[in-house]
Amino acid sequence: MIIAVDGTLASGKGTVARGLARTFGLAHLDTGALYRAVAVELLKAGADPGDTEAAADAAKTLDPQRIDQAAIRTAEAGAAASVVAAQPAVRAALFDLQRRFAEQPGGAVLDGRDIGTVVCPDADVKFYIDAEPRVRAERRWRELVASGDTVQLEDIARQLAERDQRDSSRETAPLMRAEDAVLLDTTHLSIDATLAEAVRIIQNKTGAAPRI
């Protein structure tokens, strides 16, 4: 069983994807972490995230087992990831890795921006998670402050608008809802309630039974 979870920044898609993987006993891949890790490699090397050759090289040599989870979560890494993710050569280099992950025996949950549209158009169930921009900005700001970043809410709101715009307007694999994806709006819905709804939809659609 392959479950695709796409959506906007800080919509709750990562938490929903992790919860679904746990509930149905599936492997989980946060594909945004791959783009962030490529960006961090470039930043560490002092390269420009817009340098297409350096970005493609970093994507081709990325070892997903050795991603520094703390380094990829900063606001700087997120902004650079969005620049890196707009480059077709980077997307092509990361495609096979994501596809292999999806095809592992037992199935998988992948979350990102183009899982239901490009990486796994054949997914058994697809979700598109979204929420109003202000609510998403506040969520991301709280996360960053909790992890020790000193950032202003207004700056996060502005960056979020820029990244929404860049992720949705790029030519290769832009962020968009797959025609057959179920929309879950988390503006007024808790993550627990969203997860419960997603579990119910998967059960109805596939007959799969939760493991927990």
What are the residues binding ligand DC (CB under 6 A)?
Answer: 9, 31-32, 35-36, 78, 81-82, 85, 112-114, 163, 167
**Closer residue to ligand DC, CB minimum distance, 88 or 210:** 88
- CB of residue 155 to ligand DC, shortest distance in Å: 16
Which residue in this structure is represented by tokens 């890795």? 97
**Closer residue to ligand DC, CB minimum distance, 6 or 208:** 6
- CB of residue 157 to ligand DC, shortest distance in Å: 15
Specify the DSSP element, H or E, that contains 93: helix 88-102
Spatial neighbors of 103 by CB under 8 A, at least 6 apart, are none
Residue type, 119: V
Spatial neighbors of 16 by CB under 8 A, at least 6 apart, are 5, 111, 127, 129, 184, 191, 194, 195, 198
- CB of residue 64 to ligand DC, shortest distance in Å: 13
**Closer residue to ligand DC, CB minimum distance, 19 or 112:** 112
- CB of residue 5 to ligand DC, shortest distance in Å: 10
**Closer residue to ligand DC, CB minimum distance, 20 or 208:** 20
Beta bridge partners of 9: none
